[in-house]
Structure 1
């Protein structure tokens, strides 16, 4: 953010033109006082200082309603530890205005896909519902009424939008916009129960899938090799599509960009042998000199894998509802059924929380039956 250091006057503040990004005009006569100029044209006063070792940031009103002299007087009162009187209340922005600042300051922390999703929820749901309201006027009843209405249409989308709203209002509090004693109305609302989507392949289904994939790989089908790679590693399809040979280390893959950020994927000897065989197969079939591990026809795009998946799924006699992402579910489920802990499986999948892995870790009936037999024998032995 651009920062200008000036001896502020009402005339200078009145001539402040909005730019493409927010910038601040800092007062040299009273350090810590600044006029923030938003791209939408709004201008507001803010004071930043450290009082008793704590960082303090307070909004002091908007310009021109609050002039330079009044802003300095209010800022001095804050620095002296005095309580602001009702004559100098905080100016709380409307949701639509605050959203612009929130995106400018927090948008850099989103990945490109996440930023597009964030903007879609803002544009389609949050702005129509709350854009006309001041932030401190948004009540818990307003949020619940909106959330319940949206939940009737899209329960999962309502959960995501509620999380964005709660985070935005929390930022407004942290940035000094909200009055003392204000409580976030979006916190503590029970979200909709998430429907577990997805299944996993049985041993027989995995065998049929492997047979079809091996047959197609021998013909030089790169997309089939990518699908085989997913069954062996549990990687996301987007991670495999954009994987390059430069990311392949002797004992691991270094994913520079995944859903949860950069991460390493450990490679066992079966996966390493498969990748070596795949590389030799590309050279033998006169493949292109692309740096991608799985160079797809045309361009590196999900549709290039999806079309092959439909063919493979049909040839292997797999359920029509089975998705490519269910290969990742199967990896997690078979890892747990083989005795691996949820924590270990979570690390392999690159999940940020173990709870995410628990949703994917399905258990086959024969595994549950074997567990019942083992527990039954143990309990009988203990009661004799």
Structure 2
């Protein structure tokens, strides 16, 4: 009678079975089942479809750009649960050599994508995100900040222009007082100005509040008083620009003010935000507090100003030393 398995004699079949049972009894791992997770290029459209609604239009364009130019070429052809830390590190180091900042951004997108895959049940229980623990490239401080002397000249020019009715100059002054982005100031309406804060309905990082100090509150009160009564309605812009609410209107005035204040030609409007952050740090504010004031989504973004805290720390050390020394002499 023929054996049920023609290719394996009964004795050898029993021997193989016994050996397999012995291996399992000894604690040897059974072969892993082949991966059934989707390939990266198949998972990405699902991720975009389910998460794309949470991006702003500009953010979604940025996401798609990094996926198309960097992530797809690097990880297409791999099942998402087989992407290893070595794969990610090799790709990240090569990309960092070309564009450190871009590599940071793409690494964050990849980590978020794989994290979502785990939450959606595509990864095994013992899976660990290969992006976790990879140190991002140190952010370089891009731009400059105004010194106290430059701020004084800048303020003098702005005051003269504001007195002459230049709304764009008032907007620039507002930027120096709050650290807001230009787009946030342009879109600001009087209904967003509360007694002690601004309630930004939309910003680069979503809705947020901006605390207002006494000086800024007084500035906004004076500015509102100087406006025509019809321009003070809740839905009217705080800074109604001649020619419409366009960035180009502000930039044209910025170029004139920059020249009149004898500021460097390389200085940008966004450097007013850098100046706000830099002087906050140098005056002794913490990174956490400054991060909240700027509306950064991650405190690591504020970390680029950390080196400026050295002056504040030195001054604090000297104050403490003086106090202790006086106590010893008493």
Q: Structure 1 length normalisation: TM-score?
A: 0.68
Q: In the TM superposition, what whole-angstrom CA distance separates every residue of 1:319-357 from its partner, at most 9, and x where no partner exists?
A: 233222222232233334445444444433333444444
C-alpha contact 1:333 1:362 (8 A) present in aligned 2: no
Cα RMSD after superposing both structures: 3.3
Q: How far did residue 167 of structure 1 move?
A: 1.4
Q: What pairs up with 1:43-192 in 2 under 5 angstroms?
A: 91-192=36-137
Q: Give the Å deviation of 1:157.
A: 0.3
* Contact 1:94–1:131 (8 Å) recurs in 2: yes
Partner of 2:104, secondary structure, is helix
- Partner of residue 253, structure 1: 198
CA contact (8 A) 2:141 2:304 kept: yes
**What displacement does 1:224 show?**
1.2
Query: Which whole-Å deviations, capped at 9, do the CAs of 1:260-287 have from their partners, x for residues lacking one?
Result: 3222223334323322332343429999
Q: 1:204 aligns with which of 127, 146, 149?
A: 149
C-alpha change, 1:336 and 1:173, in structure 2 (3 Å) is: closer
Instruction: Select the structure with the greater relative contact order (CA < 8 A; seq sep ≥ 6).
Output: 2
* Alpha carbons of structure 1 residues 237 and 339: separation in structure 2 relative to 1, 3 Å: same
- Asked if structure 2 preserves the Cα contact closer than 8 Å seen for 1:199 and 1:362, the reply is no
Once residues 91 and 109 of structure 2 are traced to their aligned partners in structure 1, the CA distance between those partners, rounded to angstroms, is 14
Is 1:222 matched up with 2:181? no
Q: Tell me, in whole angstroms, the C-alpha distance in 2 between the residues paired with 1:369 and 1:162.
A: 36
Q: Is the 8 A contact 1:333 1:361 kept in 2?
A: no
Instruction: Find the residue that maps to 1:250 and give its secondary structure.
Output: coil
> Alpha carbons of 1:89 and 1:339: their partners in 2 closer, same or farther (altered >3 Å)?
closer
Q: Which moved more, 1:320-329 or 1:201-210?
A: 320-329
Q: d(CA) in 2 for partners of 1:180 and 1:344?
A: 38
Residue in 2 that maps onto 1:300: 245
Residues 269-278 or 148-157, more deviating? 269-278
Structure 1 residue 283 corresponds to structure 2 residue 228: yes
Is the 8 Å Cα contact of residues 329 and 361 (structure 1) preserved in structure 2? no
Shift of residue 117, structure 1, vs aligned partner: 1.1
Aligned position for 1:331: 276
Contact 1:332 1:361 in 2 (8 A): no
Q: Is there any run of 5+ residues in structure 2 with no aligned partner, and where?
A: 1-29
Unaligned runs of 5+ in 1: 1-84
| CA gap 1:366/1:167 in 2 versus in 1, 3 angstroms | closer
The question of whether the paired residues in 1 share the 8 Å contact of 2:198 and 2:211 is answered with: yes
Name whichever structure is richer in strand by fraction.
Answer: 1
